A and B are shown apart, each in its own frame.
Chain A
Amino acid sequence: DGGITQSPKYLFRKEGQNVTLSCEQNLNHDAMYWYRQDPGQGLRLIYYSQIVNDFQKGDIAEGYSVSREKKESFPLTVTSAQKNPTAFYLCASSMRGGQPQHFGDGTRLSIL
């Protein structure tokens, strides 16, 4: 079955700790995205990538970092610089940038 896999489903972070959220897709899509979802805020774009080894900042990139070393993988690191990281994080991919997106099941991140 083709799709997007995000892991873990739930993640807890201690103060001052970096954590990495995994996103893998087997849809052979070129573009991948990371969104943050807070209640009543919709989907806010953190980072996106059109091709391997290239990525661009979205609207709320501060405190986050990404890499795109393989086409299938687009991990997101939430750094200690992100002061309010508690949220639902969604990864998505599309055949090319701007085209309809397929989303993973998301990761819920909480602060201990």
Chain B
Amino acid sequence: GQQVMQIPQYQHVQEGEDFTTYCNSSTTLSNIQWYKQRPGGHPVFLIQLVKSGEVKKQKRLTFQFGEAKKNSSLHITATQTTDVGTYFCAGRGASGGSYIPTFGRGTSLIVHP
């Protein structure tokens, strides 16, 4: 079945440093979604990318979808303590199979003040 790999599993940064998490799929994706889960909370939808090479920004967050639609990244500029949490990507396969997105294992971001 479709696999979505996400790295790194954990990332410690000092407040103000940048952070990037990467998501890679074994197959071509029709779209990719990103979610954030705060400690003790539930995942919250951030954004969906659909087009090859697409780049979207939300304030300090930049989301990219690869040209081949097999990978994606989330970059946070100048992290703040409010960015703490686990970031998940969820990719939906492009050809056949289930239309339900497969979640990566997530990257947990720890920001040290």
Residues of A within 8 A of B (CB): 33, 35, 40-45, 48, 58-59, 90, 92, 97-98, 100-106
Contact = CB atoms under 8 A, between A and B. Distances in A.
Nearest to B108: A40
Contacts of B104: 42
Closest 6 CB pairs of A and B: A42-B105, A98-B99, A103-B42, A43-B103, A100-B45, A42-B103
B106 A42 contact: yes
A10 to B, nearest CB: 13
Interface residues on B, range: 20 to 34
Contacts of A35: 103
B69 interface: no
Interface of B: 1, 6, 9, 33, 35, 41-45, 48, 88, 90, 92, 99-106
Contacts of A41: 105
A43 B103 CA distance: 6
